Every structure is written in C-alpha cells, then in structure tokens.
A = this chain, B = another copy of it.
Amino acid sequence: MKEHIIQETPLAVPGFLASAVPAGLKKSGKDDLALIVAPSGAQVSVLFTQSQVVAAPVMVSREHAADQSASALIINAGNANACTGQVGTQAALDTCQALSAALGIESQEVLVASTGVIGVELPIAKIIDNLEPLIGSLCATPEALQQVANAIMTTDLVPKIAAMTVTVDNTIYTVTGIAKGSGMVAPNMATVICCVLTDAPLSKGAMAHLFADAIDESLNCMSVDGDTSTNDTAVLMSSGAGLYGHTIDESHTGFSALKAAITQVCIELARTIAKDGEGATKLIDVTVSGALTDEDARTVALTIANSPLVKTALFGNDANWGRVAAAAGRAGISYDQSKMAITIGGIEVCKAGTAVPFCEDQAFAALDRPEVEIHVDLGVGEGHALIWTCDLSYDYVKINGEYRS
C-alpha cells in the first residue's frame, strides 16, 4: 500500500468486518446481499435521497440513523424495496430485527439499504434465510470489502472503491469508500449507495458536517441521466471513538486532513460512477467559470451535463458546441451571450459568443478519449462549478430499454 495515495482497491479499516453472499435476488446468481459490521461505539452520519418518493429502507434507516449511532449496515441489490407500501416497510424492519437478533445488538443499530427494480415486493425470506451464511463469512480483510463492492452492483460494470490513509497526531487512519451507481444518477443525492468506512475517531458533530460537505463536493457534482432515485443512501461509519476512546472535532488541528481524505475518497467514487454511467464511453468534466455566483455556475453546468443533445454529440466525438451554448442558454440564469467562451477537449471553439475556426479531425481525436473536458466561461463574474457526467450512447438505450426483461 502506498501511504496517503488514493487507490482503487479497498484497505481494511480497523474494527470493521464485511461479507457478501448470493441470496437469489439477482437473476445471475451472483452475490447480492452484503453486510458491514462495526465495533461497539461506532458512529455514523447518513445522507438520503431528496426525492419525495422514498424506498422503505430509506424510511427505516432515517429513523435508525437519527442518533448517529449504528453497528451494522445491510445492503441488498436486485430489488429497491421502493413503492412497496406497508409490506415493504415491514420487510425493511424485519431485516433489521432478524439481523440485530443474530448479532446481539439493538434493532435500531442496524441500517438497511436496497438497490434494484422499483415496485416489486422484496422477497424477504431470501434475505432472512441468508443471514446466517452472511454473518458466518464476516471478515476483516480487504477482500471482504471488495466482495461487498461487487455484491451491491446492479447495472454497474465495475465496482467502485476508493481508499487512502491519512496521518493525524502520528496515528495512521484509514478511509475506504465503496459505492454503486450507474443509472438513475443525478445530484440530490447522487442516486447511489455509498459507504465510507474509517477508523478516524471523529466526533458525531464533526462527522455530520464533514460528510455533508464531502458529498456536496462529490456525489452532488455528478449526473448520469438527471434521474434522482428513490433509494440514495450515503453512509459514513467511524469505528474510531470506540477503538481509541477519544474523538476529533472540527477544532482539532488534524481535522482538515481527515476531511480532505474523506472528501477525496468521495470524489474518486463520484468520478468512477460518472465514468461507469450506463452505456458511457467516456467521463465528461463540465466546468463553468465566470458566472455571477457559484450557484449560477452550477445551474449552467448541470444543464449542460444533463442535455441529451450534448451527451449524444460527445458520444459521436462531435465538437458541436452550439448545443453546449444552447443548453447554457436555457439554464434559467441571465447572462450576456456575447461574452461566452467555450472549449471542448481543450480546443477553443467559441469566443465572444461566436465560432472560433478549428480543425474537425483534431477535435474528433480530442473527444475520442476516455476523459473529456467541456469548459464554458460566461465572462461576467467569478462563479465556478464542476460537474462530472458521461455521454449518452446506444448502450444507455439498450440497457434501459431492456432493463426488467
């Protein structure tokens, strides 16, 4: 392991155990039920979807996370347990109840998250029946966390993992983040399940503020298709207070290093999700500068990032900047089009609101890459924003036209 360098494989985090088993929720027969168990005294900060239609596990976990204390997180893929009414809520509660009984903890100490198809009853028996092997295979190794990352995938092509270490007061702390998300991905929150584990002994208050900020700079800056989900759940779990017997709050000199590490892990996860957006062939960084405010810049960047015309043009390696300009124009903020400048893939294509001649072959080559930047400067202020997204390809249509069948 390279110290303090972010990596795409998990690091074991002191105090945490993990496991995953196939419970028959995925048709493929792959692992689809994952468990993370934290040591006694673990603390959490949890953020949920902003949607008005929320899944049963979100309702249940919201209550269980209210005291910022939790000892276990159980995640299933293959079924969202959303729009399942009272039966769905009961299934989420039953899951917590059965797991807590098996682990010898309070039911309120269990968080539950689900991802998959909406509106289909969760086959609760499959989950209950598999708790024993799930608990039986709990393990403190990086491999166990890797298994969790694989198990929570749905249409994801790659598992999302980011990990690094950070030193505070001569103690090396570990941060490992795991996430899933590929379609139905938009900010507020970015339609994913995301779990960040650390042994850094953050106080509850520090965790809550830190994590809200970290998610704002990462998952909330990413959009695959603008479709916010019913199940978004991001969990930060810390074993530190219990392990080390003291906590670090925002006034501690080491706090900013911890915050930076956790934020960097979340950013890496967000970029990986955008890059693995359903059908994506490339990651697109949309940067907007020169807006009157950061908020304006963000609004314009998101409108560009979610424009089907921009996304299909980029799939075709077409530097069709008129579509970028048109998307910016409909973002709902007021500005002077004669001051707008646009670069795509590093090539200046628009200046003072009008075309800059460029070589089409060169532009094609600049766009035919795994990562492409669109930069729009509005030329009226200092507001700045960066949004990660991906292109819109035939495969997005294929994946989503045939998802349930």
Contact = CB atoms under 8 A, between A and B. Distances in A.
A313 interface: yes
B309 A118 contact: no
A interface SS class: loop
B316 A119 contact: no
Nearest to A327: B227
B404 A330 contact: no
Nearest to A52: B329
Contact of A118 (B119, B184, B227, B325): B325
A52 B376 CA distance: 15
A354 B84 contact: yes
A120 B309 contact: no
Interface residues of A, number: 72
Contact of A312 (B320, B330, B400): B400
B353 A85 contact: yes
A236 interface: no
B400 A322 contact: no
Interface stretch (A34-42, A282-290, A390-398): A390-398
Nearest to A300: B52
A355 interface: yes
Contacts of A117: 320, 322
Contacts of A84: 354-355
B183 A309 contact: yes
Interface stretch (A97-105, A198-206, A267-275, A333-341): A333-341
Contacts of A320: 117-118, 403-404
A14 interface: no
Contacts of A54: 329, 337
A348 to B, nearest CB: 13
Q: Which 4 A-B pairs have the closest CB atoms?
A: A118-B322, A53-B329, A316-B401, A312-B400
Interface of A: 50-54, 80, 82-85, 87-88, 117-121, 183-184, 186, 188, 225-230, 306-309, 312-313, 315-316, 318, 320-323, 325-331, 333-335, 337-338, 340, 349-350, 352-355, 392-394, 396-405
